[in-house]
Amino acid sequence: MRLHIWLAQSFGWYSRYMWVPPLLDPRSNGKLTWDLLIMFIVLYSAVMVPMQIGFPEIQLGVAAQSISLASDILFLLDVVQNFFVGFYTGDDDNMVRDRKLVAKRYLTSWFLPDVLAMLPVDYFLVQESAADSNSGSGGSIISNNASVMSLRLTRLTRLLRVTKLARLIKLRHLAMKVEDALDLDAVLSRLTRLIGQVLLVTHVLSCFWHLIGFTTEDEGRTWIIDAGLKDEGVAVRYLYSFYWVVATICGVGYGDIHATNTGERLFSMITAIVGASGFGIIIGNLTKILENWHREATTRARKLSMVQAFVRKKRLPRALKVRLMRYFRHYIAKTSAFDERELLCEFSLSLRGEILHETYKHTFFLIPAFKRLSAQFVLDMAMFIKPLIVVKGDVLAREGGMGTEMFILNTGIIEIRRTPQESPDWIVVLEVLTESAVFGEAALLHYAPHANSYTAKATSDLFTLPKEDFDRLIEEFPDAEHALLSYHEERCNLYDCVFEQTLARYRVFMISRNSDPVSVLVGLENLYPTLTVLLDGVLKSYRSVPLPVLQALDLDLSMGVSVFNSSTEKNNMIALLSQQSQATTLFRSLWQRVKWSILTPINPLHGGKFAWDVFTSALLVYCAVAIPYEAAFLEENVTLSPEMDVVVETVFAVDILVNLRTAVTPVEGSGRRTMWREYLWGWFFMDLLSALPISSLVALTMESVQDSYSSSGSWLLVHSLRLLKLSRVFKFLHSLQREDSSTALGVAISTHHTSARVVRLVFRVSFIAHSLACGFFLVARISREAQGDLYVADTFPAGHNSHGDMYVYFLYWAVTTMTTVGYGDTQPKNVAEVAYISCGVLVGAATFSYVVGTLSIIVEELNEASETFRARMDHLKAYLHERAIPLPLASRLRRYYEYYLLQRDDENEETILAALSDDLRSQLVLHLNRDVVSKISFFATQDDTCVSYLMGILDPEFCTPGEYVFKEGQVGRHMYFLVKGVAEVLFK
């Protein structure tokens, strides 16, 4: 009995899954491949279906019919397949497998467009036309031998093919799925979709414009007959249709092709409306794309420009200005261009941890001190750290000062010192940190003054953790505080040991001046055989300290005698000083100076590098102007200036050597391998092409061609060599994208971010207009030489056909086209010119949209501060009007609020102060409030850290004459500091 039941169940299971396919995963690679295939079929249909509708004389041959049939079959299979594809809801990783829900979801979404797209209407309605096409050439794609009756029938029935354009509805959906699956660049994909949509709409309108003007009768007047295109082929008529649509939707409207009857005029109005509406949509979309294009570099440049504007506005001293800009260049380069903390908080805990681990796995997570802490605490702490850069001599924190952050050393050299109370002139070095270390934790654990001073002895890369963020973490992870306290106590004990040992040697040394030094030193040698210092948390003798670290430390005479007072340490010191002396002696020789200058990396922020970048940029501008002009207007092997070509090629060759020696950043990456790797994997190949002596190569090749009477292949080689000059144009376009702050020119550009954007905009638009003008003349000249056609330059008078006159004429066409004016006095004379003008109009319209979008962004940035002030004052006025405040009180409120806004005149000040380190923030706050600090006697007895902290929490307040600050009997909520004016204290 059980056997029968099992057999029945097995047969039922087999019958069920034998005939019902399993559900497919929409995220699988197989489904992605299928979607790609369907997307290509949709693109094919988007091109072919409008052509079949708009050009009735086109008859499909066997090959084209086979492709069309295969497309319909694949769409039918796609409809069937969609009933067996599961789906996901929201963030749920479990696929919905209920077949009823799957079918219901498909029937209510994409089913109707898919069914309309797969209906084979042409096979049911065009049997006579199909019979005529079969009588034509069997394997040809297009046959123009159909009868008049067949064409009339085809023209009517092919309008039903519009249903197949329903496939286009799914194109955007498929493209977005592929974009997400392949992780394509979002901005580039969006720009590609926008260009594709414009071309697709233009293609469809072109086909319908031809359909309206197409006729097989000699009577009547249409735009095709009026333009003399009736006897032309399909390709020529399509090209002229495309040309008219492009000129219409882009607002140019040359007028050489125009409507001639009522139907054409109606269609022209519809096309113009579509073009005007679409043009506005294009400008809006292009503006958003421009905002996101190179968003990272643009955001960083905008931040640096904000800091530069703040520095100029506050008129900071030069020394403080240099430190601030150096700090922010490093800070902006090291931090994310986006709001990283807000973005990370939107991820789950595990995903956030993976992101942070991948970001800091080579720096932050390698610190030994953090191994005592829980992994989750370290991950959360990574969200709050800030990058910090210091150079040799910078003091991170001073002994006795209040600290509000903990320091985490990545690379560099940090010296930790302490001063004995008995002798403030003595300096005791407690520890030398070189990498992956933590210090300054006492300020966060005890909120006590620093017991030591921390000084950078070399350019160092660090992270800082503010106290408010640390306290928030400790509340969530109490065990971390005990681990850090234990670590801090161990460090303090080691510091005390080193401190006492070094002080003992100091004392003995001072005593030895007035007594027998030999006996005292011998006794000290027995007591302390080797003087030790902490090196990255490990007690070591000074003779074990690496020489590069020892060279970075200050070797004062008193320090040297007290530290290097044993024979071994003295020998080490003598050897060190002798090496320095030898290096100084050798450096005096000319060869050593040359060798030193060659091997030393070039600082990208050096003034000489800035001058060199400006010079090479000027040569690139010359190349961008000369190369298109030479290609279009000058004869073979003729250049504007052979001498300039030699200068350009020489300078670009030297520029390659300069780039190979230029450090990646002023702080890190100055090693030769790092510099070479970054450059070789970057723009080395393009720079190499631009430095080739192309003019000389072309001249030599042409001489050999003329001498040997070579074939056309040799001439092709000559033209190919000449095309290599375009690499210099690409290099020019690359230089226009320069937004980084790692070079002197990049810093200068980012310093004047808005002005630089305007200059770049002018350069780009001018280059596009120049290229369009030269390209138009080149196409016209080639078409005349190749086919002997009439070309646009033939309309020039005999005495006004010089290169200069023709260049101005074609530049006039380019500018009027780009600005969508289109006077119509420059019209194409042959097919090649029509094709070029069609492309030129599209490029001009895109440029016009780009200019409008960029200028709107720039104007918005320029007026941001004034608009914010005006908007706040308007809000206050509206509020006072709403509450019906009396006029005298409203006037006082407006005066107070205006004063308050003027005191808070810089919206970015709080952002800048929050990003600074303790020491820089203290110096900046003291300078910005120096007038206030000098007028408050209470601040005279406080240290700088305390004063800067108090100034950060003080709020400005303004009182009009006769106004009470507070009245007797009121509960006091604030403490007031009088800075300016007179206050009267009254008693009842």
Torsion angle defined by CA atoms of residues 252, 256, 260 and 266, in that order, rounded to the nearest 10 degrees: -10
Q: How many CB atoms lie within 10 A of CB 6?
A: 10
Write down the pLDDT at residue 796: 59
Q: 237, 231 in Cβ contact below 8 A?
A: no
Higher-scoring residue by pLDDT: 20, 662: 662
Question: What average pLDDT score do residues 110-130 get?
Answer: 65
- Helix, strand, coil percentages, rounded to 5, for the chain: 65, 5, 25
Length of the chain: 988
- Are 117 and 85 contacting, i.e. CB atoms less than 8 angstroms apart? no
Cα separation, 819 vs 848, whole angstroms: 6
pLDDT confidence of residue 436: 84
- Between 813 and 979, the higher pLDDT residue: 813
Neighbouring residues of 115: CB distance < 8 A, sequence distance ≥ 6 = 79
Give residue 445's pLDDT band: very low, low, confident or very high (50, 70, 90). Answer: confident
pLDDT at 242: 92
pTM of the model: 0.69
The answer to whether 666 touches 604, Cβ cutoff 8 Å, is yes
Q: Per-residue pLDDT averaged across 652-667, rounded?
A: 74
Comparing CA positions, the residue from 688, 667, 559 lying closest to residue 603 is 667
Left if phi > 0, otherwise alpha if psi is -120 to 50, otherwise beta: which for 934? alpha
Tell me the CA distances in angstroms from 239 to 232, 236, 550, 793, 835, one per residue in order: 11, 5, 77, 21, 7
Residues 6+ apart with CB under 8 A from 494: 431, 534, 537, 539
At residue 436, φ and ψ (nearest 5 deg) are 50, 60
Q: Provide the token pair at 619.
A: 């040569």
Nearest-angstrom CA–CA distance, 548 and 22: 68
Q: Cβ neighbours of residue 182 under 8 Å, at least 6 residues apart?
A: none
- Please, which residues have CB within 8 angstroms of residue 139's CB and are 6 or more apart in sequence? 61, 62, 63
Average pLDDT over residues 940-968: 77
Cα–Cα dist 310/855, whole Å: 23
Residue the block writes with tokens 């100084």 = 584
Lowest mean pLDDT among 78-92, 586-600, 905-919: 586-600
3-class secondary structure, 43: helix
Report helix angle 186-213 to 167-182, nearest 10: 160
In this predicted structure, what is the pLDDT of residue 142?
42
Q: What value does the mean pLDDT take over residues 115-134? A: 59
- Kindly state the percentage of the chain with pLDDT values over 90: 1
Determine the pLDDT at residue 161: 65
Residue 671 pLDDT more than 60? no
pLDDT at 540 over 60: yes
Residue with the larger pLDDT of the pair 908 and 445: 445
Query: Of 962 and 122, which is predicted with more confidence?
Result: 962
For residue 20, what are its two tokens? Answer: 């019902």
pLDDT mean over 680-695: 76
pLDDT of 343 strictly over 50 = yes
Q: In whole angstroms, what is the distance from residue 738 CA to residue 763 CA?
A: 13
**Which residue from 559, 223, 619, 269 is spatially nearest to 415, judged by alpha carbons?**
559
- Sorted by sequence, the CB contacts under 8 Å of residue 258 that are 6+ apart come out as 223, 268
Between 458 and 175, residue with greater pLDDT:
458
> Which secondary structure element, helix H or strand E, spans residue 508, and what is its range?
helix 478-512
Q: For residue 70, give the 3-state DSSP assignment.
A: helix
Please calculate the CA angle 751-905-325 and round it to the nearest 5 degrees.
30
pLDDT tens column, 237-290: 999 999 999 888 887 777 788 888 888 889 989 988 888 887 777 777 777 776
Taking 60 as the threshold, does the pLDDT of residue 735 lie above it? yes
> What is d(CA 957, CA 974) in angstroms, rounded to the nearest whole number?
11
**Predicted confidence (pLDDT) at residue 527 exceeds the cutoff of 60:** no
Q: What is the DSSP string of 678-726?
A: HHHTTTHHHHHHHHS-HHHHHHHHHHHHHHHT--HHHHHHHHHHHHTTH
Per-residue pLDDT for 582 more than 60? no
Name the strand (E) or helix (H) holding 122.
helix 121-125
Nearest to 298 by CA among 606, 722, 753: 753
Q: Enter the tokens of residue 961.
A: 């004459």
DSSP state of 899: H
Q: Which CATH architecture group holds 312-495?
A: Sandwich (2.60)
Computed over every residue of the chain, the mean pLDDT equals 75
DSSP structure class, residue 553 = S
CA distance 278 to 284: 10
Indicate the range of 76-90, 105-119, 565-579, 957-971 predicted with least confidence. Answer: 565-579
| Cα–Cα dist 171/42, whole Å | 7
- Give the whole-angstrom CA distance, residue 681 versus residue 351: 31
Would you state the pLDDT for residue 559?
Answer: 40
pLDDT level of residue 219 (50, 70, 90 thresholds) = low
Predicted pLDDT at 148: 47
Per-residue model confidence as pLDDT tens digits over 566-581:
444 545 554 554 454 4
E strands present in 124-273: 142-143
Q: What is the rounded average pLDDT of the residues 116-130?
A: 60
CA distance 396 to 918: 8
Q: How many other C-beta atoms are found inside a 10 Å radius of the C-beta of residue 833? A: 23
- Higher model confidence: residue 104 or residue 866? 104
Sequence-distant (6+) residues with CB within 8 A of 939 are 933, 947, 950
Q: Please say whether the beta carbons of 443 and 480 come within 8 A.
A: no
Top-ranked range on mean pLDDT: pick from 661-665, 673-677, 720-724, 828-832 = 828-832
pLDDT at 136 over 70: no
Q: Which two tokens stand for residue 442?
A: 């006492």
Angle between helices 349-360 and 375-382 (to 10 degrees): 70
| Candidate from 393-397, 472-476, 513-517 with smallest mean pLDDT | 513-517
Q: Give the integer Cα–Cα distance in Å for 39 and 172.
A: 9
Inter-CA distances, 162 with 75, 111, 137, 156, 226, Å? 16, 17, 27, 12, 28
| Per-residue pLDDT at 738 | 57
Range(s) within the chain of domains with CATH label 2.60.120.10: 312-495
**Number of Cβ atoms within 10 Å of the Cβ of 674:** 15
HSE at residue 57, side-chain half, CA atoms within 13 A, is 16
Tokens standing for residue 123:
């096979």
Which secondary structure element, helix H or strand E, spans residue 626, and what is its range?
A: helix 607-633
Res 302 pLDDT > 80? no
- Residue 678's Cβ-side half-sphere holds a number of Cα atoms within 13 Å equal to 15
Under a CB-based contact definition with an 8 Å cutoff, are residues 533 and 429 in contact?
yes
**Locus of tokens 């090209």:** 239
- Average pLDDT of span 414-437: 83
Averaged pLDDT for residues 973-986: 81
Cα 773 from Cα 574, distance rounded (Å): 73
CB 167 within 8 A of CB 46: yes
CA 188 vs. chain centroid, Å, equals 12
Q: In the numeric block, which tokens belong to residue 586?
A: 């050798």
3-state secondary structure (DSSP) of residue 739: coil
The tokens describing 607, both together, are 């003034």
- CA–CA separation, 782 and 669 (whole Å): 50
SS3 letters across 638-664: CCCCHHHHHHHHHHHHHHHHHHHHECC
Cα separation, 644 vs 632, in Å, equals 19
pLDDT at residue 420 is higher than 80: yes
Q: What pLDDT is recorded for position 241?
A: 92
Distance, in Å, from the CA atom of 57 to the CA atom of 45, rounded to the nearest integer, reads 18
Q: Which amino acid is at 109?
A: S
pLDDT band at 528 (very low <50, low <70, confident <90, very high): very low
